Amino acid sequence: MRSVASSRIVGSIGAFDRWNSAGIAAQRPAFVASGWNRRRIMGASQSSRDSSGGPSVSAEGAEFKSVSDTEWKEKLTDEQFYVTRQKGTERAFSGKYWNTKTAGIYECICCGTPLFNSITKFDSGTGWPSYYEVIGNNVKSESDWSIPFMPRTEVKCSKCDAHLGHVFDDGPPPTGKRYCINSASLNLKPSG
């Protein structure tokens, strides 16, 4: 059994011997957009507010900065809240999508923003879903000094600031990037 430490070492070296193939049987997504999330996806007006008491949203994007921890806890599981709102990390090889080959789009679990296309997913050997490219400008990055001797680059959803994971410069062509993402921050919307 591989330890988390050895997984990080393998990942940092760049073990890219197994690549993603076209999707296998489609899986039903575990997360279905709730009222306020669905409105954000569909671009409801700024003044709209659904019956669940979710935040107002606009076509340009949601005002997620005003969403309280209490509201997030109502919308997310404990693990999703820990990962996305408290910058947690799920254990390697434990997440729902680390070994998934289903074709589709991976969305932010918090706001539904499309983040990664399954055709950019690859097996990095780290135990976390890894992608070499993001969709548009939907992911932003910031320096992460939470481990002083190991600076990293954190990646977040550009719409709601959900913590997704980290990006490294040891990925495959054409980008050379490895977006190492927590499954708990994602929802797979299968294609087809």
Cβ-based neighbours of 30, under 8 Å, separated by 6 or more: 96, 187
Of 146, 111, 153, 118, the closest CA to residue 132 belongs to 118
The active-site residue out of 110, 157, 160, 180 is 180
Burial of 18 (0-12, 13-18, 19+ CB in 10 A): exposed
48 CA to centre of own chain: 26
Q: Active site includes 180?
A: yes
- In this structure, are residues 6 and 22 in contact, taking their beta carbons and an 8 Å threshold? no
Name the token pair of 142.
Answer: 């910031």
Catalytic site residues?
180
